[in-house]
């Protein structure tokens, strides 16, 4: 066996994630394993060696947490076995029991706003009255009392709050796919603020208010291609452009936590770049850019803004966390996300800009085995086309465990921001409208053709793999273009677009028009027919190449039926398929035991059909709920 990187190092629990500093600067908290399950840890600032685990989750693990503004409590959200009914939990720092602040069945919480003036309260959205819509409530963190402040009976999309815990803005889809934004008055009434055309919806929306509530920051692509950042003066009724880029939409926004004023923004083309808007921070960003080698983000700040937790991203190594002292301009290393990989030679990720057949520029990312010197291998390699989900999302530069494992096994890996991906302007995202399984798929084929032409990829050994929309792309690849790919791996991908749209979570009801105006409207004969034509389930008989399907039984977005029905159709036609089901997972796999089991199956599957290397299955199934319902014999070692 070659010296392969163990799956455990890439897909097991990280050593640490989500480091936060308390607003008063006295504590450092983070997520790390305890007895093999991710939990919240707490340490005095400057004394990480005294860290103690303060939550006791034994099964699914905690993925994110935050501080209350008074530094007295930690908050986290958690669902049950992937059902995405997120509950909000609170834990006192000085000791005490964890409390569920939203103990309602079939309810998912949305945190709407917090205020320095009332740190013991917050605004939350809850769909416990009507599972379709979230009502706004004022939550008392000490008592758990919930007071309804806005009943959402008209299907508003969500709410924007100000620094005084007042609801200020909401929005609603219109039948033509446009969105109307409304101001919420002090009497709880709504009045029209802005009408956004359907073509501008994806790059337009409120980013928040300043402390006085007189300014609203808003991104908008009207009259231009990319989403720009504007400041609305609500007293004068005027608008001014703050910053824009002709290549990409405005990305992340950094605001002062006390004043709400803009400080910096990010733009992400091939890599992330910061644009500093507050001159007093320019020296800090210059220092960080000089000291750090990868991209970085500011993930946590103290109330006095003197201490920052900074996360550095690399492509060929795990991310690292630092504590930055602004006054002394000192950067202190805290922890690395995966210690065993620090210093291990890993594969770099190279940004490449590819051309679609109709002239669109597609920012993509290519990884080659670390043994390859230069931009090309000596001879074409088997290639895994790794397709992102969404599809209204994007791939980015940085450490990617799939890229690392697959390149380590001898494959080239290519991730493509195909049309419909977000962040590259409205022309690019809108070019994906009604193009599921057509031009969006053509973009993926064009990217593979580029890799073949450049002698990077062996055309006879190309796999298509992805989750959610990426899973759909894998099914589309094996049905719409049955001779193009050598095999496919579908993770929680929809097989029938009509049944997908008829079974989405109830609380997505307010946003259904987004799907209708970009995929096809099943309420009309034309839309229903379009969705039928783009559904891989209806072309099962065309499948010629091996297919691996993985599904979470509790997935609320892409129901288990999406995988069940295509597996059954393949069985009925005598077409082999391997089907892995996880009874305790949802839309993707959260438990590391399940991730490790799935990657063991995937490695063995790809080795058989592409010829790369694979770590033996060994004990990869220990602790996993994996059920191989079909095709066990088709994958060696399982």
Tell me which residues are annotated as active site.
468, 555, 587
- Look up residue 295 and give its two tokens: 């991209």
CB atoms within 10 A of CB 454: 13
Lateral strand order in the sheet of 159-161: 159-161, 167-173, 179-184, 190-196
Question: Angle 401-408/592-610 helices, nearest 10 degrees?
Answer: 40
Residue 611, phi-psi category: left (phi > 0), alpha (psi -120 to 50), beta (remainder): left
Q: Is 483 exposed, middle or buried (0-12, 13-18, 19+ CB in 10 A)?
A: exposed
CB-CB contact of 550 with 627 (8 Å) = no
Q: Please state, in angstroms and rounded to a whole number, the distance separating the CA atoms of residues 590 and 425.
A: 32
Q: Rounded to 10 degrees, what is the CA torsion of 162, 159, 275, 250?
A: -160
Helix (H) or strand (E) segment spanning residue 313: strand 307-313
- Look up residue 263 and give its two tokens: 């400080």
Helix (H) or strand (E) segment spanning residue 478: helix 469-480
- Look up residue 173 and give its two tokens: 């889809």
Q: Please state, in angstroms and rounded to a whole number, the distance separating the CA atoms of residues 562 and 78.
A: 25
Q: What's the angle, vertex CA 191, arms to CA 188 and CA 192, rounded to 5?
A: 145
Question: How many CA atoms, within 13 angstroms, populate the side-chain half-sphere of residue 87?
Answer: 17
Q: Please state, in angstroms and rounded to a whole number, the distance separating the CA atoms of residues 4 and 464.
A: 22
Find how far residue 171's CA is from the centre of its chain. 23
List all residues 6 or more positions away from 10 whose beta carbon is below 8 Å from its beta carbon: 338, 341, 401, 404, 405, 599
**CA 219, 220, 224, 230 torsion: positive or negative?**
negative
CB-CB contact of 383 with 448 (8 Å) = yes
**Of 41, 60, 64, 55, nearest in space to 98 by CA:** 55
Helix (H) or strand (E) segment spanning residue 171: strand 167-173
Please report the DSSP string for 88-134 in residue order: EEEEETTS---EES---TT--EEEEEE-SS-TTEEEEEEEEEETTEE
């Amino acid at each position: 066996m070659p010296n392969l990187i163990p799956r455990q190092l890439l897909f097991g629990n990280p050593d640490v994630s989500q480091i936060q500093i308390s607003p008063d600067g006295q504590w450092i908290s983070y997520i790390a394993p305890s007895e093999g399950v991710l939990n919240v840890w707490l340490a005095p600032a400057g004394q990480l060696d005294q860290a103690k685990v303060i939550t006791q989750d034994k099964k699914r693990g905690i993925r994110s947490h935050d501080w209350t503004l008074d530094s007295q409590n930690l908050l986290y959200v958690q669902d049950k076995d992937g059902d995405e009914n997120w509950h909000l939990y609170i834990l006192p720092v000085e000791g005490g029991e964890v409390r569920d602040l939203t103990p309602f069945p079939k309810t998912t919480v949305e945190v709407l706003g917090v205020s320095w003036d009332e740190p013991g309260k917050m605004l939350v959205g809850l769909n416990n009255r009507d599972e379709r819509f979230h009502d706004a409530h004022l939550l008392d963190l000490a008592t758990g009392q919930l007071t309804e402040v806005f009943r959402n009976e008209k299907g508003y999309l969500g709410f924007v709050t100000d620094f005084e815990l007042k609801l200020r803005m909401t929005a609603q889809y219109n039948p033509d796919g446009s969105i109307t934004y409304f101001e919420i008055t002090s009497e709880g009434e709504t009045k029209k603020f802005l009408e956004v055309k359907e073509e501008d919806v994806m790059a337009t929306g409120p980013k928040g208010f300043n402390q006085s509530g007189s300014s609203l920051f808003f991104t908008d692509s009207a009259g231009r291609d990319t989403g720009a950042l504007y400041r609305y003066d609500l007293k004068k009724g005027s608008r001014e452009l703050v910053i824009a880029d002709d290549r990409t939409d405005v990305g992340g926004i950094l605001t002062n936590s006390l004043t709400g004023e803009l400080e910096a923004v990010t733009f992400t083309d091939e890599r992330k770049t910061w644009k500093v808007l507050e001159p007093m921070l320019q020296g800090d960003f210059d220092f960080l850019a000089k000291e750090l080698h990868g991209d970085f983000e500011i993930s946590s700040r103290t109330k006095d803004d003197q201490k920052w937790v900074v996360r550095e991203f690399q492509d060929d190594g795990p991310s690292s966390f630092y504590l930055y002292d602004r006054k002394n301009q000192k950067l202190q290393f805290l922890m690395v996300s995966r210690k065993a990989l620090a210093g291990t030679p890993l594969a770099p990720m190279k940004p490449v800009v590819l051309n679609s057949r109709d002239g669109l520029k597609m920012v993509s990312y290519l990884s080659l085995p670390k043994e390859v010197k230069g931009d090309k291998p000596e001879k074409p390699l088997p290639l895994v086309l790794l397709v992102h989900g969404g599809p209204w999302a994007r791939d980015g530069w940085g450490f990617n465990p799939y890229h690392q494992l697959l390149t380590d096994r001898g494959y080239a890996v290519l991730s493509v921001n195909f049309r419909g991906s977000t962040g590259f302007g409205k022309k690019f995202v809108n070019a994906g409208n009604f193009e599921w399984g057509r031009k969006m798929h053509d973009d993926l084929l064009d990217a593979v053709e580029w890799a073949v032409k450049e002698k990077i990829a062996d055309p006879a050994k190309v796999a298509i793999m992805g989750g959610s929309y990426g899973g759909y792309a894998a099914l589309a690849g094996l049905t719409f273009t049955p001779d193009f790919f050598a095999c496919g791996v579908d993770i929680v991908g929809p097989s029938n677009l009509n049944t997908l749209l008829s079974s989405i979570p109830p609380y997505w009801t307010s946003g259904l028009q987004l799907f209708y105006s970009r995929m096809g409207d099943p309420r009309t004969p034309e839309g229903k027919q379009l969705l039928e034509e783009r559904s891989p389930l209806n072309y099962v008989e065309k499948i010629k190449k091996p297919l691996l399907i993985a599904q979470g039984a509790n997935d609320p977005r892409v129901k288990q039926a999406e995988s069940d029905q295509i597996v059954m159709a393949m069985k009925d036609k005598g077409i082999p398929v391997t089907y892995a089901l996880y009874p305790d997972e949802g839309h993707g796999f959260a438990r590391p035991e399940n991730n490790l089991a799935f990657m063991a199956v995937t490695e063995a599957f790809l080795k058989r059909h592409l010829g790369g290397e694979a770590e033996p299955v060994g004990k990869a199934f220990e602790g996993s709920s994996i059920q191989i319902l079909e095709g066990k014999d088709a994958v060696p070692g399982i």
